[in-house]
């Protein structure tokens, strides 16, 4: 899935500004699907508009600059659904924590342990966020996706709890202070 398809997905459910599309794709319910930046969203919206898959209108705001609202067209709806028939690509997973884990043998054990604790906190926060979404979303497909995400996060959390000592053991032991340092 690409940014173009993500824009159509968001607009399929409701009209939105480019800013709202960016917010939904980074912090909102679409953050789990595709990474999208302002630098990729606006060119995608422009191409979609040129192709007649979306339209836009300018909306005046009191005391603020006008904003551009995008809407999906019937042809855009068809194109979006048709895109879902294409094979899905592999999930993309990036993790700064895993980069740290890869280099754990080069790092002090207390740093590795500290980063594990931070990662566990982060996973706990993500789990709580998904739990809140469970209460907010009533559609069966939404519930299925949220449960899938919850299970993935819970597994990561449990794995890290169960195997954290192994990773810490790979790290360099804490250095004892030398007499010169005292």
Query: pLDDT digit string (tens) for 80-89?
Result: 999 999 998 8
- What's the half-sphere exposure (Cβ side, CA atoms, 13 Å) at 66? 7
Statement: residue 177 has pLDDT above 90 = no
Mean pLDDT of the chain: 90
| Verdict on whether the full-model pTM lies above 0.85 | no
Q: Chain-centre distance of CA 22, in angstroms?
A: 11
Determine what percent of the chain falls in helix, strand and coil, rounding each to the nearest 5: 65, 10, 25
Percent of the chain surpassing pLDDT 90: 63
Contact 174, 108 (CB under 8 A): yes
Average pLDDT of span 146-172: 95
Lowest mean per-residue pLDDT among 62-66, 112-116, 157-161: 62-66
Query: pLDDT digit string (tens) for 100-140?
Result: 999 999 999 999 999 999 999 999 999 998 888 788 877 89
Q: How confident is the model at residue 144 (pLDDT cuts 50, 70, 90)?
A: very high
Statement: residue 34 has pLDDT above 80 = no
156 to 99, 121, 127, 132: CA distances (angstroms): 16, 12, 11, 19
Q: How far apart are the first and last CA of the chain?
A: 58
Helix 18-26, helix 38-50: angle, nearest 10:
130
List the alpha helices (DSSP H) in 103-179: 109-136, 140-170
53 DSSP assignment: S
Is the model more confident about 52 or about 25? 52
């Amino acid at each position: 899935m690409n940014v173009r398809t993500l824009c159509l997905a968001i607009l399929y459910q409701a009209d939105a500004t480019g800013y709202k599309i960016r917010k939904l794709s980074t912090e909102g319910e679409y953050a789990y699907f595709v990474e999208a930046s302002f630098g990729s969203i606006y060119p995608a919206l422009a191409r979609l508009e040129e192709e007649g898959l979306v339209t836009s209108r300018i909306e005046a705001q009191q005391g603020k600059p006008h904003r551009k609202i995008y809407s999906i067209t019937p042809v855009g709806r068809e194109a979006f659904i048709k895109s879902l028939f294409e094979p899905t690509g592999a999930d993309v997973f990036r993790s700064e924590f895993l980069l740290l884990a890869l280099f754990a043998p080069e790092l002090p054990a207390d740093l590795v342990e500290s980063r594990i604790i931070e990662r566990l906190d982060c996973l706990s926060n993500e789990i709580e966020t998904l739990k809140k979404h469970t209460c907010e979303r009533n559609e069966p497909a939404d519930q299925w996706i949220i449960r899938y995400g919850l299970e993935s996060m819970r597994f990561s959390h449990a794995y890290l709890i169960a195997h954290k000592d192994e990773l810490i053991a790979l790290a360099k032991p804490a250095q004892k202070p030398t007499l010169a340092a005292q």
